[in-house]
Structure 1
C-alpha cells in the first residue's frame, strides 16, 4: 500500500477494483466531495484501489507515487474548466498475479464495501444475461484462475469467510442495466459451476448487491490534460482525469455493512433505481445512438457536431418528447428537464466523443435502448413514428457501411458482418431486419413494427437525398 492518511487497520475501507478513468471521475470523486464536506463521519471512509489486470499498471504506479492523489479536470458545455485534487484513494494496492493485496484487503473486517468498475463486457453475460461459460476467461476461472471479477471475488470472499470478516456489500458501478441484480445472478451461477456450495451459502447470507445508475461522460485522457492541469494548478500530475461537469449517481439503499453518507455528496439513495435507469437508458443512451447514426450519415465525426445540427436535434427531440416521456410517466425524474440537460451535454465540444464509438453494437442497442419504447407505444395505441426513425437511421447507416460509402468502420458483437450483408442484399431488407427475434423479441415481424420502420426509412431516404443535394450545390 502507499503511505495512507489513515492506517489500513482503522476506519472503514471501500475496496475498489478497477482504477480507470470512470471510477476516478465518478465514485472516487463522490467520496472526495463527502470527505471535504465536513460530514461528521466522512473521514472514517477511504478507498483502497487495485486492479485485476496489469494493463493499468503505469497509471496505477503513477497514482501510488502520488499517494493516491490525482487531479480531475471538468468542463461545462460552455467550456468552463475546473480542477480538483482528489484525495479519497488512501491506499493504492500493488498489482500481483495472485491478487494477494486485493484478497488481504477484502478479507479484512475494516473493509465494508467491495466496489468494481470492470466495464460492461467484464461481466461476461450473453444475450439472455446468463454467464457466458464458453468465453476463455470464464472457462479459466471455472478451473480456478483469477482473471475475471468472478474468480477474484470468489478468492476474496472465501478468504473473508474463513477469517470471519463479517458481511460486506458488493457494489457494481458499471453502466449495466439492473447491474446489481445481473452481477449477483452471474456470480451465483459462477459459484455453482465451481461447486463452491459453502461459499455460495455464505455469499447469500452475508452480502448485498445494490443496483445503481451511474452517469458522467468520461473520455479517455488525452495528452493535453497534463499541461492543462500544470498550467491551472502548478502540479505536474502524472495521472490526471478529465470528464464533463455533469455527474449523477442513483443507488439502491441496500448496504449490509454500512455506507458513507453518499447523499451528502449529491448522490441519490432510493428504494428502487428502476425509474432513473429507464430514463437514462431511453433518453440518454438511445438518443446518443440516434445522434451517432444520423451524424455519421450527415458526414460528422463527433457527437457534438450532430447535436448542433438542427435536423438531427429535431430527430432526437421528437423521439424523446413524443414517445419516451409519455411512456415513462409518472416518473420521479423531471423528464423534460432531463431531456434538455442530456442534449446540452451531448453538445459539449470539449468532450469530443466520436460517432464511431457510440454507433457500434447497434443491434444490441436497439434491443436494450429502443425496443422498450416501441413496445410501450404499441401497447397504448400510439403511433411510434418518432421512435421508428431510430432503427431506420441505423438501417441506412448499415447500408452505407455495406456499400463502402460510410467513412467509419462498424463493430457489432451480436451479428457477424456476413449476416448483416445478407440482410441488406435481400429483396426486402426492412422485413428481414424486423424479423430478428434477437433484436425485437415478441415484436419480431409484427406488422405494426414493419410498417413503422418502412415509413421511417422512406423519410430517412428523403432526408439524405435533400442533404446530398445541398452538399452538391455548395
Structure 2
C-alpha cells in the first residue's frame, strides 16, 4: 500500500478489494487517466482482480498531455492508488480504495516507455478516455489532416492519441506481434468504429502500409457505452478523506453511485471476464449508446447553457428548477426520444432515472464543467437529434433553443462572465450578437453542414431563437 494511503482511522469504512497488489500483472494500458477513468473503468478492474484467474488485468495508466504532467506526478507519487467517494441521491456515502492502476507512465515525458509497454504481449487491451474532441474526425469520419495537432503528429510529434497508438502498435508488430483490442471509452456514437477509422487514416498518412495491414489483421475495435456522472475533482473530498481516514490522498475522486459499462463482445486476443463484475458484454451496443447519448448527454448539454445564463452554479440546482425541469421533459418527450425511434430499452423509464441522477444534490457537479467543449458536444450529441427529427417531420425547436442559448452563453464568455474551455474556441469567439454574425453562425457549414444541406429552414429557426433572447445591436 502507498505510504499516502495507509488509513489510520475508520479502516472498516474504507472498502479495499481482497487481492495482493504484488500478485497483479498489467494486462490493460489506459490512455488518459482523468477523473472519469478513475471513477469508472479502473473501478471495474479493481473489482475484477479479486476473482479467480483474473490477476493479469491490472492497468498501466498513461498520461499523454503535457499540461497534465504536474497532476500526474502526484498520482505517480501515490503509486496509482487513490480513494473513490460515491454519493447516492439519498446521501448514502461510500469510500473505496482503488489499486488497479499498478503502473503509471507519463507519456508526455517518456513516450518511449509507453511504446515499450504497448508492445508487450502481456498487454491485451488498450482503453482510452481522451474526451470527444480528442479524435479529430469530421462528420464523415474523415481525419482532420489539416488540424495543427494532427499535422505535427504525422511529422513525428506526440500530441494526440493516434501518435501514441501508432508508435506503440508499430513496435508491437515488430516485436511481440500479439493481437490487441483497442477499446474506446469516450462518449461517441459507434466509438470503436470511429477510433478504427481515425487510426487507420493516421497510419496511412504516415505512409506505413505494412502497419495498416497488420492492424486490420491483428486488432479489434469494440464499441462501448460508459456512464457515471463524475464532477471535476474537488479539494473538499480530499479533505474529507484526510479527516475520515487520516490519509493524504490528493487524487481523491468523487462520483454518483450509478455506474454502467456496456461493451461489444469483440476482442482480438484474450478477454477480461468483466461480466463477473457487472459489465454488459453484448452483440450490439447501439441501443444503449443511443439512449445514453440522446437522453443523458444531449439533455446535459442542452440544460447546461440555459442553467449558466440563469446563474446556476451546480447542475442539480438546474435540474430542480421548475422551468428547466419542464424543458427537460419537453425536450426528451418531443425530440430526443422520438429521434431514437424503436428501442429495446424502456426509454421513458430511462428518462426518469436520468432526471433523478441529475437532481442528486450530493454530487455537486458544476454547470461550468458541463458547459465545456460545446462545439464538440453539440456536434456529437445534438446534430443527430436535429437530423432525425427533421426526417420524421418534427421541428426540433427545443434542441434549437438550446443552441441559441449556447450562442448567448458565448457572448457572455467574451465579457468574462464564464470560464469556458473549448479547443475550438477560435471558430466561435468572433461571432457577435448582430444580424450579420447571427446569419454567419446559423449558416456555418463547419457546424451545420449536413443540416443546412437537407433542411435550410434550420438556419431561419435558429436565427429567430437567437434574436428572441436579446435585443440586437
Q: Which bin holds the TM-score, normalised by the shorter protein?
A: 0.7 to 0.9
Does 2:313 align with 1:301? yes
How far, CA to CA, are the matches of 2:372 and 2:251 in structure 1? 28
Residue number among 419, 426, 434 corresponding to 1:425 in the alignment: 434
Residue by residue over 1:357-401, the C-alpha shift from the partner in whole angstroms, topping out at 9 and shown as x without a partner, is: 333454544443223223333323345444443334445545666
The answer for the alignment partner of 2:212 in structure 1 is 200
Q: Give the 5 Å matches for 1:14-413.
A: 14-36=28-50, 39-93=51-105, 97-126=109-138, 128-397=140-409, 407-408=417-418, 413=424
* Aligned-partner Cα distance in 1 for 2:37–2:143: 24
**Deviates most, 367-376 or 164-173:** 367-376
Residues 364, 64 of structure 1: CA spacing in aligned structure 2 closer, same or farther, 3 A cutoff? closer
TM-score under structure 1 length normalisation: 0.84
Q: How much does 1:179 deviate? A: 2.0
SS in 2 for 1:420: coil
Q: 1:96 to 1:360 in 2, by over 3 A?
A: closer
Q: 1:78 to 1:259 in 2, by over 3 A?
A: same
Moved more, 382-391 or 203-212: 382-391
How far did residue 261 of structure 1 move?
1.5
Which digits, 9 at most, give the CA deviation of each residue in 1:392-440, with x for residues without a partner? 44455456667x5x8325566276456521xx311794x6654334333
TM-score normalized by the length of structure 2? 0.84
Alignment-derived partner of residue 5 in structure 1:
21
Query: For 1:389 and 1:100, how far apart are their aligned partners in 2?
Result: 48
Deviations 1:5-59 (A, max 9, x none): 3568xx56112222222211111101112224xx333323211223234544454
- RMSD between aligned residues: 3.2
Structure 2 CA distance for partners of 1:332 and 1:89, relative to 1, 3 Å: same
Distance 1:162 1:428 in 2: 53
Q: Report the Cα offset of residue 452 of structure 1.
A: 5.3
Q: Structure 2: any 5+ residue segments left out of the alignment?
A: 4-19
Count how many residue pairs are aligned between Structure 1 and Structure 2: 452
> What do the CA deviations read for 1:212-248 (whole angstroms, capped 9, x no partner)?
1222222222212222113333433242222222222
- Deviation, 1:257, is 0.7
1:49 counterpart SS class: strand
